[in-house]
Amino acid sequence: MEYSELKYLKSLAKQYPTMAAACTEIINLQSILNLPTGTEHFLTDLHGEYEQFDHVMKNGSGSVRKKIDEQFGHTMSMKDKKSLATLIYYPKEKLEIVAAQEENMTDWYTITLHRLVQMAKYVSSKYTRSKVRKALPKEFAYIIEELITEKAEVQDKEAYYNSIIHTIIRVGRANHFIIALCELIQRLVVNHLHVLGDIYDRGPGPFQIMERLCSYHSVDVQWGNHDMVWMAAASGHYASIASVIRLCAKYGNMSILENDYAINLIPLVTFVMETYGNTNCDCFKVKNEGVYGKQDQNIDTLIHKAAAILQLKLEGQAIMRNPEFGMDNRLFLDKINFEKKTVLIDGKEYPMKDTDFPTIDPAKPYELNEAENLVMERLCSAFEKSYKLQKHARFLFSKGGMYKVYNGNLLYHGCVPLNADGTFAEVAIEDKKYSGKALYDVLDSYARKGFYSNKDTPDRIKGQDIMWYCWTGPCSPVYGKDKFTVFERYFIEAEETHKETKNAYYELYDNENVVESILEEFGLDKNTGHIVNGHVPVAKKKGESPIKCGGKLLLIDGGFSKAYHAKTGIAGYTLVNNSWELRLVSHEEFESKEAAIVKESDIFSDYITVERYSERKRVADTDAGKEMQKQIEEIECLLNAYQKGIIAENS
């Protein structure tokens, strides 16, 4: 036996000091390998739509209702199934309604508790007792474990269980117990959550989504371009801070910054009122006009314009700092003819809708003036000192990345940049070129440097610029277009200038050779692997299919954001991967939380089975299972060392 192997086994012996301990762990791990796999739930492009996100999380994209149907079949009416599902989703709110309507609460409690215990027993059946125990609420852990665990030694089990339930009701703990059971069922229906990017922007609730994700039991995130601009802003990147503020103002969501993230906006408000108070703001109308009063709307309109000008100046500085980005065609401020009120784009002169820019010096168009410098310094300090924003950014870095390889599938937001012939496009980062997986890895590395490196160091500055490039750059995997026409859409009427050309990936993702080459590039089996892809909404109403290349690539952005519903005809796709099948779910628009509770109107969800497995998937088939198999082999080596006397037991 080599020295390094012996050293490792001696270290392992501290964890398993006896042959009995080693054997017990081998038996435990081997048995876990034969359990069915837990359910994976895939969401993408949430764009701040918290209420719909919250409901889809509670119902597991129809998984809870499916479990109710499987468990109760024809023994329960459709009405009772809907009521039970609503109770599981919103136990606190539903209990208040029931209390006001039911004449005999004792009978209702008895029936409901028996049903919930039956459901909890069913959804926990494919997990080890240890895993279920960790998920149990502390207050009722012992009681729930008694109720959902078969006890052969109790001859009259029905009387035993009935006694527990009747006592819970008699001592006035029924409501608390029902809430605990409902939350446990939600927790056990989904084993792991994947979020494929774009949590932020457009909708009003990204803060609430992030808070929910931070407390979720098992989750990973693939960064979207909208997430990366917020991550860059949290790191103190000026251009990204301006972009975040512009989008919040545009969609009437300044309260996200001021109320949710406690970012002091008084310096910004003072600046815009003094500087932009008398300017033409016709190009900067705020969306969601009904959410607040006229005075606040006027202030947000001024902020919208001021942030757009700051963004254009600061982005120009980032472009000039990084010539390898190849974004000189996005420099516009030095192409404006203020006398003629025109701008030169690609050799053609276009009239501008607005040139009332009080802070732009035509001789030095990309420089911030003194007032702008001061307001950016204060905003940067506020972003960097926001406890909640820093917490959420750190969560995205710790649980997220540019892509994820998980249980034989590849997950990412956006696209793998391709040339027209299907080969991987090369992107210059400093003095080297990267493509395919190497591009994702280097961008991921730079993004982390941009957040974690010491302030004002070259690595931090470059990393922040890279995060910004991922938000808007022409070969960014998470953006996937040749340009981001912010300037053109604000200031130029001609629609020809608004065109954003998608990467060749979007013309080629139904090509089997291309999709298989991407799977192989990331180390996956081209015959069994799938690509799960967010970012571009699928227009179902136009007949577009989210299933590409015979099911090898799945586009699951169906438009969670209300802004996309008219285009897509649905309110988002989600994906469910359980031990039996891979299922794509399409959702109708979510009316409201109140309607879901009072009317018991679940989101109507239709699903397509993408793949039905010939044999039920076991833990042994997962990444975690492969790690367990390695552990078993290592512990068996230790056991062999004990048996041969190479290592002595420590009893």
Q: Crossing angle, helix 63-72 and helix 174-189, to 10 degrees?
A: 110
Residue type, 339: E
What is the amino acid identity at position 276?
Y
Note the pTM of the prediction, 2 decimals: 0.93
Spatial CA neighbour of 478 closest among 368, 557, 560: 557
Q: Say how far apart CA 225 and CA 468 lie, in whole Å.
A: 9
Cβ partners under 8 Å of residue 101, min gap 6: none
pLDDT (0 to 100) of residue 104: 94
Residue 254 has pLDDT above 80, yes or no: yes
- DSSP output for 234-292: HTT-HHHHHHHHHHHHHTT-HHIIIIIS----HHHHHHHHHHHTTS--GGGPPS-GGGS
Q: What are phi and psi of 401, to 5 degrees?
A: -175, 180
**Separation CA 213–CA 602 (nearest Å):** 22
- pLDDT for position 45: 92
Angstrom distance (rounded) from CA 43 to CA 608: 16
Q: What is the pLDDT of residues 612-631, one digit of tens each?
A: 999 999 999 999 999 999 99
Q: What is the mean pLDDT of the chain?
A: 92
pLDDT on residue 173: 94
Residue 498: pLDDT over 70: yes
- Determine contact, residues 570/560, Cβ cutoff 8 Å: no
Tell me how far apart the alpha carbons of residues 264 and 250 are, in angstroms, rounded to a whole number.
18
Q: For the residues 233-245, what does the mean pLDDT come to? A: 98
Q: Tokens 């792991």, residue?
A: 192
Name the residue with higher pLDDT: 4 or 588. Answer: 4
pLDDT digits (tens, 9 = 90+) for 134-186: 999 999 999 999 888 866 555 566 788 889 999 999 999 999 999 999 999 99
Q: Which pLDDT score is estimated for 467?
A: 98
How many whole angstroms separate alpha carbon 65 and alpha carbon 56?
Answer: 12
Structure-model confidence comparison of residues 237 and 573, the more confident one: 237
Q: Mean pLDDT over residues 313-339, rounded? A: 96
DSSP element (H, E) containing 530? strand 530-534
CA-closest candidate to residue 609, choices 637, 647, 581? 581
Question: pLDDT band for position 417 (50/70/90)?
Answer: very high
What distance in Å separates the CA atoms of residue 532 and residue 542, rounded to the nearest whole number? Answer: 21
Question: What does the pLDDT look like over 532-551, one tens digit per residue?
Answer: 998 877 766 567 788 999 99
What pLDDT score does 596 carry? 72
Q: What is the DSSP letter of 558?
A: S
Which amino acid does the sequence have at 608? I
Q: Does residue 591 carry a pLDDT above 70? A: no
